[in-house]
């Protein structure tokens, strides 16, 4: 696994999760940063991979990893991506 990966889900009823996912991808696209969008709703193994990398068994998308290095996300993480 290499490169920037954004773990997200296409299946959520949460406006907050949808908004955070959109913000992360908008920022990365705006800065022309290449990334792989990983939809954890397609495979439980992907969700477990995201949670393992995040070090949190209850982690929810969006989460960002660079290779096997967890970069974080969430409200504070989103602000950090743009700086």
Q: Which structure tokens are listed for 41?
A: 């709703």
Domain containing residue 47: CATH number = 3.40.30.10
Q: In what order do the strands lie in the sheet with 4-8?
A: 36-39, 4-8, 63-66, 69-72
Q: What is the pTM of this model?
A: 0.83
* In a domain? residue 41: yes
How confident is the model at residue 45, as a pLDDT? 97
For 22-80, the pLDDT digits (tens) are: 999 999 999 999 999 999 999 999 999 999 999 999 999 999 999 999 998 754 444 44
Q: Which structure tokens are listed for 33?
A: 């940063």
Q: pLDDT band at residue 11, thresholds of 50, 70 and 90?
A: very high
Domain range for residue 42?
4-73
Q: What torsion do the CA atoms of 3, 7, 9, 12 make, to the nearest 10 degrees? A: -150
Q: At residue 81, does pLDDT exceed 60?
A: no
The CA distances from residue 35 to 5, 25, 27, 40, 46, in Å, are 5, 9, 11, 15, 16
């Amino acid at each position: 696994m290499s490169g920037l990966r954004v773990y997200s889900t296409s299946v959520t009823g949460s406006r907050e999760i949808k908004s955070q996912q959109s913000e992360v991808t908008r920022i990365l696209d705006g800065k022309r940063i290449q990334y792989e969008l990983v939809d954890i709703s397609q495979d439980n193994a992907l969700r477990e991979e995201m949670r393992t990398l995040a070090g949190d068994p209850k982690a929810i998308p969006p989460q960002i990893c660079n290779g096997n290095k967890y970069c974080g996300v969430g409200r504070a993480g989103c602000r950090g991506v743009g700086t």
